[in-house]
Structure 1
Amino acid sequence: MTKEFDLIVIGAGTGGNGVARMAAAAGWTVASLDALPYGGTCALRGCDPKKMLIAVTEGAEWSHNMAGKGLEAQVSVNWPDMMAFKRTFTDAMPPRIEAGLKKAGITTLHGTARFTGPDTIEINGDTLRARHFHIATGARPMTLNIPGEAHLITSTDFLELPERPDRIVFVGGGFIAMEFAHISKRAGAAEVTVLEMMDRPLGNFDPDLVAMLVEATTELGIDLQTTAKVLEIRKSGSAFEVDYETPSGRQTVACDLVVHATGRVPNIEDLNLEAAGVDYSRRGIKVSAYMRTTNPAIFAAGDCADSGPNLTPVSANEGRIAGKNLLAGKDERAVSYPPIPSVVFTLPNLAMVGLSEAAAQEKGLDFETRFETTSGWYSSMRVGAKWSGYKILVEKGSGKILGAHLIGPGAEEQINLFAMAIKAGLTANQIKGLIFAYPSYASDIGSMV
């Protein structure tokens, strides 16, 4: 017998759960399903558990920076205990989230969904029909198509490692590679290597600040190789060998673990979207500004859609818009993206919001660049931070902030204030006129603009 619902949400993460709750609150019959434990990537396999680990390594960094300044401590990271600490959060989330959905009157199902028609899916051998669908299946690691690819572990696997390997290679030089490399080295790994095929890591971030992070990364003891294209991964006894090409020729690095960190792609290949009349590309499911797909009864949001940046709060915002249009029965609200901050949670943090210098130049904007290293500023000296600085783009004439780029302690919170300033259209002089609590990281902002 075919079960029928008003709405079926595929994906129980940030981009899906809000939509399910909105519809259930409106009296709709709703089913939520996921092939993985409820909670999505951010809560279980990404942002949140990663920062739990970073919190532990911050203790090691603090001890290092304060050595000789009055703090006497012998600090080391116990990997199994650190992972157990992470699980105090991640283990509790799936049952908590699923229980909350059930309490809201939502039917929860586990399994891989596959469309069999424009209004039907199959899951675990059962057929479900719905008036509407919302897809929020997120992203997965991209396929590299290199020999030995099966030897790679994913970032999800890394976050579950029971013990820390001594020699780790990260393939890629983006968020995952840089953050996990910093975690690994501060946790005591003897050899940590990052292989990035471009001429610098973190290509979307300001090159001058990335150069500072590269120096900090190298000083930490991480071997960061750029213009290094991975060619093959081979098993060698209980270890691995990774071959990669550089301008100086073919190189090989031996390790105990190889981590896939080259990026992610929309997780949509198992959905059989053709049967649903839903168009998609390599960038994801095609959606309108109202988050509606090419099948008017189906919406999509988050990393599986060809929409905004692949960030958790973006997914939540897109889901909210999709939910409102679902309930309205028409395209009532278009998604709008405010200035969106992005942070690399290495130590030091690297953050950005708004335009880069290159983007501002491409737009033909007339602006000033205010760039300074700030290791001599009080806020950095107080915590023994060697690597800190900023680059702020200020439009000539209007004085408005076009972009903000930060590195160092406090950057992850300072960047949010810059996002608010850009959204509000505040000028540099207006920011200088604000009075923040002092001394604080926020109180430095007036001196940056």
Structure 2
Amino acid sequence: MALKEFDVFIIGTGTAGKTVAYDCAAEGMTVAIADNREYGGTCANRGCDPKKVLVGITEAYKMSKDLEGKGIVNPPKIDWKALQKFKSTFTAAVPAATERDLKKAGIKMYHQSPKFLDENTLSVEGKTVKAKKIVIATGLKPLELKIPGRDYLKISDDFLDLEELPESIVFVGGGYIGMEFAHIAARCGAQVTVIEASDHPLDGFDKDIVSHLTEASEKLGIKFIFNARVSEVKKLQKNYRISYQKGGKTESATARVVFNTAGRVPSIDTLDLEKGNVSFETRLTDGQEKGVSVNEYLQNPSNPNVYSCGDVSASGAPPLTPTSSQEARIVSLNIREGNHTKMDFPPVPSVVFTLPKLATIGLTEEEARKKGYDIAVNYKSVPNWFNAKRINADVYAFKIVEDKKRKLILGAHIIGPEAGEMINLFVLAMCGKLTTENLKAMIFAYPTWGNEIKGML
């Protein structure tokens, strides 16, 4: 059989990989793409999109509970099976639709994770293929906890596909995935425990704003075990026993199901990167991979035929769908036109879809002080503001970090019912370099949540 040769071979069919594939195919290049899982990537199949569908139901439930006795009588109950059926209407068609569109674009598809044989050669589905350019866009996968009983741990994929909600759940890790799932599960009726190695959840977010979420989570019934490291999982008759080290002692918790939400790592271990002379980075603290090394053009320094984009790239950008799209655009341009487009990210917002939502952009107060900025900080808890009061929401707070000299916003951190939408106004302000005085002079529709950002400045 003749050796297959392509102009571009892309590994990964998520947001980043598909973008590069379609762009290059539209330019008349011969393009191939491969994935060892269902086509469409994490976000559409087993990440952001299905999660947000589950969150949507709990939003309706929470609002009705908050307004009980204030016009709402007999708040609704959540039917988990019906919710999962509704969620599947968003995910079930994704793989086939993705393959159909790729085929229509003339892109050759492979259903296996390739392995590098040399700098331009891959082995996939038992075939050897060559490519002038290879793009690694394989995303992230759950971090394996190397503890006894780790095979009993479920992952985020399993939570999103639960046919029935267990009576009790332990989440190992209080990052954004663990916290979002904890809120969904607790509102749907499960007893939830979060075991976290730090002294608070959501490491990297503003601690003051996070404290409001921790308190709200505890009121919801979520139990936190902080400063604890899980050491073993044992199967009992009906439950699992999760042993953890805390304060020099071994303690334990039990639950029907245990989920590993301790973090995610680049999905690169099966690619044989060394054979392709593809460099990758590790974190010095724990030896875990940070991702495929890239320069300012998102090109691998040791193998210039390789580019990387999306969550698997060690670009320094946060692992979010919008940044994956942005990186894919850069890689696509540089493959098609030569290295002319450098990576230059604007301020990137991030939202934790708990209820209340937590949203952030830019520097935290701590980061701004470390960088030496002369800052003004406006930090308030405002559940008495109109929009929170009208839906009887008891958690609403913000912290705005401003550069005193330039009157520019360095960071915005909000917790509240519509924090995820409000943060986008701060994206516009920061990207447009609008001063706080500019924003205060603007007229927003009233009484909207967006109008309230003027009171935050």
RMSD: 1.0
CA contact (8 A) 2:234 2:240 kept: yes
Distance across 1 between alignment mates of 2:22 and 2:42: 19
Match of 1:290 in 2: 297
Q: For residues 265-300 of structure 1, give each alpha carbon's deviation from its aligned partner in whole angstroms, at most 9, with x where no partner exists.
A: 000000001111111122111011101112111111
Distance across 1 between alignment mates of 2:229 and 2:43: 29
Scaled by the length of structure 1, what TM-score is found?
0.98
Distance across 2 between alignment mates of 1:24 and 1:109: 16
Q: State whether structure 2 residue 287 is matched by structure 1 residue 258.
A: no
CA contact (8 A) 1:141 1:264 kept: yes
Mean CA deviation greater in 262-271 or 105-114: 105-114
Partner secondary structure for residue 311 of structure 2:
helix
Distance across 1 between alignment mates of 2:271 and 2:132: 17
Q: State whether structure 2 residue 427 is matched by structure 1 residue 419.
A: yes
In the alignment, which of 400, 409, 415 is matched to residue 401 of structure 1? 409
Match of 1:410 in 2: 418
Q: Which runs of 4+ in 1 moved over 2 A?
A: 247-250
Letter in 2 for 1:285: V
Structure 1 residue 248: Cα displacement? 7.3
CA contact (8 A) 2:193 2:223 kept: yes
In the alignment, which of 380, 396, 399 is matched to residue 391 of structure 1? 399
Structure 1 residue 397: Cα displacement? 2.2
Across the two proteins, how many residue pairs are aligned to each other? 447
Q: For residues 319-350 of structure 1, give each alpha carbon's deviation from its aligned partner in whole angstroms, at most 9, with x where no partner exists.
A: 1100100001x211001111000111000001
Please list, as runs of the form range in 1=range in 2, the aligned pairs for 1:243-392 lying within 5 A after superposition: 243-247=243-247, 249-281=249-281, 282-293=289-300, 294-307=302-315, 308-328=317-337, 330-392=338-400
Match of 1:18 in 2: 19
| Structure 2 residue ranges without an equivalent (≥5) | 282-288
Partner secondary structure for residue 333 of structure 1:
coil
Distance across 1 between alignment mates of 2:235 and 2:404: 57
Letter in 2 for 1:102: K
CA contact (8 A) 2:68 2:75 kept: no
Q: State whether structure 2 residue 69 is matched by structure 1 residue 61.
A: no
Q: For residues 50-84 of structure 1, give each alpha carbon's deviation from its aligned partner in whole angstroms, at most 9, with x where no partner exists.
A: 00000111121011111011011332111111111
Q: Percent identity?
A: 43
Q: State whether structure 2 residue 216 is matched by structure 1 residue 208.
A: no
Distance across 1 between alignment mates of 2:151 and 2:16: 30
Partner secondary structure for residue 391 of structure 1:
strand
Distance across 2 between alignment mates of 1:444 and 1:219: 26
| Structure 1 residue ranges without an equivalent (≥5) | none
Partner secondary structure for residue 34 of structure 2:
strand
CA contact (8 A) 1:42 1:48 kept: yes
Structure 1 residue 384: Cα displacement? 1.2
Scaled by the length of structure 2, what TM-score is found?
0.96
Letter in 1 for 2:202: L
Letter in 2 for 1:262: A
Distance across 1 between alignment mates of 2:33 and 2:405: 52
Letter in 2 for 1:323: S
Please list, as runs of the form range in 1=range in 2, the aligned pairs for 1:71-90 lying within 5 A after superposition: 71-90=72-91
CA contact (8 A) 1:194 1:224 kept: yes
Partner secondary structure for residue 49 of structure 1:
helix
Q: For residues 180-232 of structure 1, give each alpha carbon's deviation from its aligned partner in whole angstroms, at most 9, with x where no partner exists.
A: 0000011111x210000101111111111111100100000010111111111
Please list, as runs of the form range in 1=range in 2, the aligned pairs for 1:153-172 lying within 5 A after superposition: 153-172=154-173
CA contact (8 A) 1:76 1:188 kept: no
Structure 1 residue 383: Cα displacement? 1.3
